[in-house]
């Protein structure tokens, strides 16, 4: 009985996934522009949350520096789109972000616990200050106008594709030796090292892959924003949102960050419009609730309830 139930759940999930993918592919053909714009925001947040979960969900290293990789790639793409095709400029932004994460992993990934959180938060503020200093003292202006813009539907498909790739990469990591190593770090890093696991290599690879997809997202969004500056590109709130969305949905599950981004995008748009001054307070309250009552996220809570039903 339980095996039939499990098979039915898996079959339903596969059919639902196929239906959702097909539906999302044809949606721009008949949906209104405001719906497409909302889904673009959902996809962008989902990429940020999913990419955060690649490293943070697998290792329990809670990074608040995700916006640093997003912002660097945004500036790189903004500078390159005048000389390169848009897609190539976006990929270059992602590669630069991954390279930056690789270099930063040597000092940063030696730190653990709350010190790592504080250090990565400072990383965002550091890059914001550096780019602000550069623009004020060298370009003599703060911010820049984006030279290239693509259509709404085209951006929709780009982000949908990247979200799919991010989810596939996360799935492959979970099933691979890399995922096994990252989970070992999550359980107990000292014991993993004692058993001969080179934790530094595993953490560096996971951190770099996470930064790559955050950078791709930042590069793609340059085409949506007419104007960017260091305050927009390096928003510490974005790092906080990426982590919270992943934790809320369930950072250890592929579908968790996507669910979290969907819920928070819908609620966030309303709160930012109606109560813009209280939005950050709302995020803080949700974080407290998640840490205390949903430490493994909504997806894991649902799975536990299903497993209880299977036993009954």
Place of tokens 């990469």: 169
Round to whole Å and give the CA distance between 200 and 189: 10
Supply the pLDDT for residue 265: 87
Radius of gyration of the chain, Cα coordinates, nearest whole angstrom: 20
Residue 50: is it exposed, middle or buried by C-beta count within 10 angstroms (0-12/13-18/19+)?
A: buried
Digits of tens for pLDDT over the chain (312 positions)?
A: 455 555 566 677 778 888 999 999 999 999 899 999 999 999 999 999 999 999 999 898 989 999 999 999 999 999 898 889 999 999 999 999 999 999 999 999 989 888 999 999 999 999 999 999 999 888 888 888 887 778 899 999 999 999 999 999 999 999 999 999 999 999 889 898 888 889 999 999 999 999 999 999 999 999 888 889 999 999 988 999 999 999 999 888 899 999 999 988 888 777 777 777 777 777 778 878 877 777 788 887 777 766 655 555
At 113, phi and psi to the nearest 5? Answer: 65, -145
Q: Residue 250: which region, alpha, beta or left (left: phi > 0; alpha: psi -120 to 50)? A: left
- DSSP code for 294: -
Nearest alpha carbon to residue 44 among 22, 74, 18: 74
- What are the respective helix, strand and coil percentages of the chain, to the nearest 5? 80, 0, 15
The DSSP element (H or E) to which 130 belongs, if any, is helix 114-134
Nearest alpha carbon to residue 153 among 18, 25, 23: 25
Give the predicted TM-score (pTM) of the model: 0.92
Residue 277: is it exposed, middle or buried by C-beta count within 10 angstroms (0-12/13-18/19+)?
A: exposed
Q: Where are the beta strands (DSSP E) in 162-246?
A: 227-228
Place of tokens 């940063």: 108
Positive or negative, the CA dihedral 63, 67, 73, 75 is negative
Place of tokens 């305050």: 231
Residue 235: CB partners within 8 Å, gap ≥ 6? 67, 71, 124
SS (H, E, C) 68-98: HHHHHHHHHHHHHCCCCCHHHHHHHHHHHHH
CB contact at 8 A, 219 and 71: no
Structure-token pair, residue 173: 């990591």
Helix (H, G, I), strand (E, B) or coil at 197: coil
Nearest alpha carbon to residue 70 among 208, 215, 211: 215
Supply the pLDDT for residue 6: 58
């Amino acid at each position: 009985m339980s095996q039939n139930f499990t098979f039915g759940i898996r079959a339903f999930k596969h059919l639902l996934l196929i239906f959702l993918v097909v539906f999302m592919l044809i949606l721009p053909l008949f949906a209104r522009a405001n719906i497409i714009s909302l889904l673009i925001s959902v996809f962008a947040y989902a990429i940020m949350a999913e990419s955060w979960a690649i490293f943070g969900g697998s290792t329990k290293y809670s990074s608040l520096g995700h916006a640093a990789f997003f912002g660097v790639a945004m500036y790189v793409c903004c500078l390159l789109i005048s000389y390169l095709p848009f897609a190539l400029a976006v990929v270059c932004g992602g590669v630069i972000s991954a390279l930056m994460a690789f270099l930063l992993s040597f000092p940063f990934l030696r730190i653990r616990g709350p010190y790592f959180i504080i250090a990565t938060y400072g990383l965002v503020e550091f890059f914001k200050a550096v780019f602000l200093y550069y623009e004020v003292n060298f370009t003599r202006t703060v911010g820049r106008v984006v030279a290239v813009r693509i259509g709404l539907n085209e951006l929709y498909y780009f982000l949908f594709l990247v979200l799919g790739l991010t989810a596939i990469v996360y799935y492959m990591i979970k099933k691979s030796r890399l995922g096994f190593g990252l989970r070992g770090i999550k359980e107990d890093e000292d014991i993993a090292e004692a058993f001969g696991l080179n934790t530094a290599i595993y953490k560096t690879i996971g951190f770099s892959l996470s930064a790559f997809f955050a950078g791709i997202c930042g590069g793609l969004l340059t085409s949506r924003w007419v104007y960017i500056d260091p305050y927009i590109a390096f928003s510490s709130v974005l790092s906080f949102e990426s982590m919270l969305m992943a934790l809320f949905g369930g950072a250890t599950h592929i579908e968790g960050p996507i669910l979290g981004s969907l819920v928070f995008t819908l609620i966030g748009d309303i709160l930012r419009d109606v109560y813009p001054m209280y939005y950050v307070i709302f995020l803080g309250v949700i974080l407290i609730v998640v840490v205390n009552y949903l430490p493994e996220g909504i997806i894991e809570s649902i799975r536990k309830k299903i497993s209880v039903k299977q036993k009954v």
